[in-house]
Amino acid sequence: MAAVVEVEVGGPLEHDLEEVDLSHLGPEERWRVEHAQMHAKHRGHEAMHAEMVLILIATLVVAQLLLVQWKQRHPRSYNMVTLFQMWVVPLYFTVKLHWWRFLVIWVVFSAITAFVTFRATRKPLVQTTPRLVYKWFLLIYKISYAAGIVGYMAVMFTLFGLNVLFRIKPEDGMDFGISLLFYGLYYGVLERDFAEVCADYMASTIGFYSASGMPTKHLSDSVCAVCGQPIFVDVSEEGILENTYRLSCNHVFHEFCIRGWCIVGKKQTCPYCKEKVDLKRMFSNPWERPHVMYGQLLDWLRYLVAWQPVIVGLVQGINYVLGLE
């Protein structure tokens, strides 16, 4: 059968390819026939394909320029729309492709995050809310970080053939690794965006932080500007439950709060005076620095997840209007 397929693929009769019964072919022969059918269908359309590629490149360039300008001129609206895109776009593909496991996890995550976000945006702010918010998003951050690492390792093990040591099929090992990698990256990005919104609302409500302008309250050395609660442990002392951390601008915070502000809330400035935070000094432990790098990776992937499907859909719409298939 393989010999017959090779003759048909190399022959000039395109209608013979359409009449081939694929049900009796193996995976490799079936792929060859389908590949040949695709080439036969698009033969003679080289000029149209070149035009479609030009449209794709032009759309990507223009869209990137517009997004950059939007982000620079109106960062708040850009971040909110991007967050909505991150949250909704995968849901469309989930329902369309029947990924029920992802849908269940998405619903649970969305329900808890909606409750936490609701608590973070209430006025007056409950004293326990900042800790609740940072604990929840820090938990999701750590889970997504672990899932991403395990998924990446599973993919690498499969590529190097180490899956045979555990008697795991290559396709199963690759599916497991890619799924974990996707979960880790997606929820990692989503978590950081929601955490940033909550951090802004809470800090503004407390009054020691303002995204634009001066704070509405004066900060004393005995109060944490992130959560608004008193600081009982001196910077030079070792705390029983939690330590106190002093930034280079001499403002002091609960260590948990300032780490949540920087890692989870994506802030690299002092919550009070907006002086830039030296992350290398704050995370002097080499085991903590990968968390900062992982956060930067999530920021880079936001464009791919949130806006790439929209741009691809726009390109398809342009091709449809111009009659290009």
**Cβ count within 10 A of residue 158:** 22
User: Can you give the pLDDT at residue 309?
Assistant: 79
Q: Which range is most confident: 33-47, 59-73, 296-310?
A: 59-73
Rounded average pLDDT over 292-310 = 69
Rounded average pLDDT over 161-187 = 85
What lies within 8 Å, CB to CB, of 2 at 6+ separation is 29
In the block, residue with structure tokens 């000039």: 12
Bridge partner list, 253: 245
pLDDT of 108 > 90? The answer is: yes
Q: Read off the pLDDT band of 3 (50, 70, 90).
A: very low
Question: What percentage of the chain reaches a pLDDT higher than 70?
Answer: 71
pLDDT of 139 > 90? The answer is: no
Of residues 288, 286, 258, 287, the one with CA closest to residue 270: 258
Lowest mean pLDDT among 134-148, 209-223, 237-251: 209-223
> Cα–Cα distance between 314 and 7 in angstroms, integer?
40
> Cα–Cα distance between 260 and 265 in angstroms, integer?
6
> Cα–Cα distance between 103 and 108 in angstroms, integer?
9
Return the structure tokens found at 173. Answer: 């090992």
**Cβ count within 10 A of residue 325:** 10
User: Can you give the pLDDT at residue 142?
Assistant: 84
User: Can you give the pLDDT at residue 19?
Assistant: 57
Phi and psi at residue 269, in whole multiples of 5°? -130, 160
> Cα–Cα distance between 55 and 325 in angstroms, integer?
13
Q: Pseudo-torsion of CA 15, 19, 24, 26, nearest 10°?
A: 20
Would you give the end-to-end CA distance of the chain in angstroms?
33
Q: Which amino acid is at 76?
A: R
Return the structure tokens found at 92. Answer: 């469309």
In the block, residue with structure tokens 């409750």: 115
Q: Which amino acid is at 42?
A: H
pLDDT in tens, 152-165: 899 888 888 887 77
Q: Read off the pLDDT band of 192 (50, 70, 90).
A: confident
What lies within 8 Å, CB to CB, of 94 at 6+ separation is 102, 103, 106
pLDDT of 300 > 80? The answer is: no
Of residues 278, 196, 269, 261, the one with CA closest to residue 227: 261
Please, are residues 301 and 50 in contact by the beta-carbon 8 Å criterion?
no
Q: Read off the pLDDT band of 239 (50, 70, 90).
A: low
User: Can you give the pLDDT at residue 5?
Assistant: 44
In the block, residue with structure tokens 């920021």: 299
Of residues 202, 186, 181, 198, the one with CA closest to residue 140: 186
> Cα–Cα distance between 264 and 267 in angstroms, integer?
8
Lowest mean pLDDT among 2-16, 41-55, 114-128: 2-16
Q: Which amino acid is at 218?
A: H
Where do the DSSP E strands lie in the chain?
244-246, 252-254
Please, are residues 191 and 213 in contact by the beta-carbon 8 Å criterion?
no
Residue 12 DSSP symbol: S
In the block, residue with structure tokens 């030009």: 54
Of residues 141, 140, 125, the one with CA closest to residue 226: 125
User: Can you give the pLDDT at residue 231?
Assistant: 82
pTM exceeds cut of 0.75: no
pLDDT mean across residues, the chain: 76
